Amino acid sequence: MKSRIAEIIREHLTFEIITHESPDEDAVGAARALGHALVSLGKSICFSFPTPIPASLLFTEEPVSGEIDDPEISFLVDVSDMGMLRGIPPRGEIVVIDHHRTKNGFGLASWIDPGKSSASEMVYDLLCEMEIPITPSIASNLFLGVFGDTGGFIHANTTERVFQIAYELVHSGADPHFIAYRIRKAKPFTFYQILCKVMERVIIKDGVYGSYISFTDLDKFHARPEDASGVVEELASLAGSQLVIFLREVKPGTIHCSIRSKQNDAALNTARAFGGGGHGLAAGFTVEGRPRELIHQVVKEGTKWVKTA
Ligand SMILES: [Mn+2]
């Protein structure tokens, strides 16, 4: 499928690059790296982000090309769920590059590989296949994505291959210290205000830890939407937690849920019960409701999927 995508790139001139709502490091890194690569081939590109890139992820170089009105191809990068596009339709023929587990491929070509650490790893493989030089801008964006999706080389997807790619990216000009510090050592004060509130409310049941932050809390802290990102990882760092759930009321009555688990598929199965999806160990969903009530339901569902010793 990788070679089919390479062929599609060679045969077309104008590309739209789309990623999922609330873009994370991998979404931004993979999308921008692919953009740089296409521009280096003389193609014209444009981006379509269903929700804006958080300010904290705006430090890597953005590719620039001439304006296009009618892209021939729409790349979906780090996303294969049309529900995560906020209803914004792709304008060209769809080509998917994603590592989230989904049932079916679709569009003109669909390269979905849950065995990859990140969409950035896939873009790296594609560029190698096409013998496109990895410039420092491409390297920095791909390193951002690989670092982000492996949790800083911590998660189970941190394979030997990931380190090999990281080596190549640093060799090609990515600055690992700069990127890691921008992501990990530059947290806003509001992050810790949110975290304190979340910790006060933790519910613990059979290895399942759940908590939430309401829209009112976020408003009180003058928090930006992205200020709560990383809270779920802090819950997952608690000793004894097998599955963690974090609800964030993104606007009054709309709740986004992030789930992490240490046992395979527990996060995904819990998310699926509420119409969501993701990876086996990291999944989520968005529903209408009240966080204070919903948290009990999600914790209860989570306990079904956690095997207790
Ligand atoms: Mn990803």
Ligand 1 centroid–CA 40 distance in Å is: 24
Please compute the mean of the pLDDT values over residues 134-154 and round it to a whole number: 97
Say yes or no: 31 and 171 in one domain: yes
Ligand 1 centroid–CA 268 distance in Å is: 15
Supply the range of the domain harboring residue 151: 2-184
Ligand 1 centroid–CA 162 distance in Å is: 13
CA dist list (Å): 141 to 34, 59, 113, 121, 133: 9, 9, 20, 11, 14
Q: Which residues contact 72 (CB under 8 A, 6 or more apart)?
A: 12, 13, 14, 15, 92, 93
Domain endpoint, select from 165, 184, 203: 184
* Mean pLDDT, rounded, of the chain: 95
* pTM, full prediction: 0.90
* Tens digit of each residue's pLDDT (9 = 90 or more) over 81-120: 888 888 889 999 999 999 998 767 789 999 999 999 999 9
Say yes or no: 84 and 112 in one domain: yes
Ligand 1 centroid–CA 144 distance in Å is: 11
Task: Provide the percentage of residues in the chain whose pLDDT is more than 90.
Answer: 87
pLDDT over 70 at 190, yes or no: yes
Provide the pLDDT for residue 22: 87
**Short-list 49, 166, 169, CA closest to 117:** 166
* Tens digit of each residue's pLDDT (9 = 90 or more) over 247-297: 999 999 999 999 999 988 999 999 999 999 888 899 999 999 999 999 999
Q: Are 97 and 76 in contact (CB under 8 A)?
A: yes
Domain endpoint, select from 184, 207, 234: 184
* Tens digit of each residue's pLDDT (9 = 90 or more) over 207-224: 999 999 999 999 999 998
Identify the band that residue 2 occupies on the pLDDT scale cut at 50, 70 and 90. Answer: very high
Tell me if residue 188 falls in helix, strand or coil.
coil
Ligand 1 centroid–CA 20 distance in Å is: 9
Provide the pLDDT for residue 309: 56
Ligand 1 centroid–CA 210 distance in Å is: 23
Ligand 1 centroid–CA 232 distance in Å is: 16
Say yes or no: 261 and 288 in one domain: yes
Ligand 1 centroid–CA 26 distance in Å is: 5
Provide the pLDDT for residue 127: 98
Identify the band that residue 77 occupies on the pLDDT scale cut at 50, 70 and 90. Answer: very high
* Tens digit of each residue's pLDDT (9 = 90 or more) over 47-69: 999 999 998 999 999 999 878 88
Residue linked to tokens 């953005």: 62
Say yes or no: 211 and 295 in one domain: yes
Provide the pLDDT for residue 199: 98
Specify the CATH number for the domain of residue 24: 3.90.1640.10
Provide the pLDDT for residue 98: 96
Ligand 1 centroid–CA 117 distance in Å is: 7
Specify the CATH number for the domain of residue 296: 3.10.310.30
Written as six digits, the tokens of 78 are: 């780090």
Ligand 1 centroid–CA 160 distance in Å is: 18
Q: Which residues contact 227 (CB under 8 A, 6 or more apart)?
A: 188, 190, 191, 194, 218, 221
Say yes or no: 16 and 128 in one domain: yes
